[in-house]
Amino acid sequence: MPEPPDGTESSVLVDLGPRRYTVRVVTGSRGFGAFARESLAATWAGRACRSALVVTDANLADHPAAAGTLDALRNVQIEPRLAVLDPGEATKSLPSASRLYDELVAMRADRHAAVVAVGGGVIGDLAGFAAATYARGVPLLMVPTTLLAQVDSSVGGKVGINHPRAKNIIGAFHQPSGVWVDTATLDTLPDRELRCGLAEVVKYGVILDAAFFEGLEERVGEILARDPAAIRWIVARCCELKADVVTRDEREETGLRAVLNFGHTVGHAVEAVAGYGGAYQHGEAVAAGMVAECRIAERIGWIGPGLTDRLIGLLARIGLPTRINGCDPATLLEAMGRDKKNEAGAVRFVLPRELGRVELTGLPSRDDVVAALEPLCR
């Protein structure tokens, strides 16, 4: 996708037939209200929407993104109710979901009320789960404010919460009615959060688009400097790549969508072992997981060391970890045993065949995995 010029917007269609929706990528636009009403009007439930639960966290409660969302909804005759949650991965829990149900009941929400998620991946996943399960499903609008959420978790309809021993193990598929991405929200994003989002950006290059990976190598300086055109380029391209995968395998039934989990088998294990909201944020765990999974691919003869070296080099330039502290291979392997991709008790991995192409496989032996994890844990 070509870069949208300064001051303009671009759209990516996630074409799922009657569940189709648009991802709108803008910089500083005030058009959310009209977008929300248009997106909701395209659905049976959203057509009659007159109220919405806006979910955010304490870090964003006073941010223009939250206040602007409330005002924009009022301007299109949708009365918002605000729910502010604690920030951090630990919030993706059953008690937090229960709190959102309480809010929806208190506002007498019916199946036409919308849930609007304003925040990062935690808020999107949690609010989306509440939307999927309240009244057997109500309309959902995503307003992602972190890079990680903008390029990945807000698109595709996977929503869920964590169990204390397994990440995202409780969840559903619930497509949003629309996704509003304003890259201007990244201007105030902490550097660590930006780097975490870039882990998912790098992932897209490894799994689907070698030319995109090469572009990241060339433009990493512009991206880290938050050049608006560079940021719009990575967000729009990642959304386009994910939309293509989701339209061909919405519910992970053909195996194609599993490619999006590259780095996540090991990464989710790191998060579970280190503790949600602990030493490693999601993007940091995924970065280390991608390195480990490249090493597993080396062990089974799928790739040479060159791809792993390039990946490590790019992650290092971004400032992401390529190894972890405080874990051991046996503990990580035990945590991987609870991964959703497993089959008949065997751990399955998404591994690269070459830059831009990966496959889901159960081929690696326990020895292969341990051998790849040992340098990760040093």
Task: Please indicate if the annotation marks 347 as binding a ligand.
Answer: no
CA atoms of 99 and 114, how far apart (whole Å): 16
Q: Is 192 helix (H, G, I), strand (E, B) or coil?
A: helix
The strand order across the sheet containing 10-14 reads 10-14, 21-26, 178-182, 140-144, 114-119, 51-57, 79-85
All residues at 6 or more sequence positions from 162 whose CB lies less than 8 Å from its CB, including other chains: 89, 92, 93, 168, 169, 170, 276
Task: Please indicate if the annotation marks 185 as binding a ligand.
Answer: yes
CA atoms of 101 and 121, how far apart (whole Å): 19
Task: Please indicate if the annotation marks 308 as binding a ligand.
Answer: no
**Beta-carbon count within 10 A of 285 CB:** 29
Residues with active-site annotation: 136, 158, 200, 242, 252, 257, 261, 264, 268, 282
Residue 297's Cβ-side half-sphere holds a number of Cα atoms within 13 Å equal to 29
Contact of 259 with 360, CB cutoff 8 Å: yes
Task: Please indicate if the annotation marks 92 as binding a ligand.
Answer: no
Contact of 311 with 376, CB cutoff 8 Å: no
Task: Please indicate if the annotation marks 121 as binding a ligand.
Answer: yes
Task: Please indicate if the annotation marks 188 as binding a ligand.
Answer: yes
Task: Please indicate if the annotation marks 146 as binding a ligand.
Answer: yes
Task: Please indicate if the annotation marks 145 as binding a ligand.
Answer: yes
Task: Please indicate if the annotation marks 122 as binding a ligand.
Answer: yes
Task: Please indicate if the annotation marks 187 as binding a ligand.
Answer: yes
Task: Please indicate if the annotation marks 264 as binding a ligand.
Answer: yes
Contact of 8 with 164, CB cutoff 8 Å: no
**Beta-carbon count within 10 A of 201 CB:** 23
Task: Please indicate if the annotation marks 123 as binding a ligand.
Answer: yes
Residues forming the annotated binding site?
A: 121-125, 145-146, 158, 167, 185-188, 200, 264, 282
Residues forming the annotated binding site for NAD(+)?
A: 121-125, 145-146, 158, 167, 185-188
Residues forming the annotated binding site for Zn(2+)?
A: 200, 264, 282
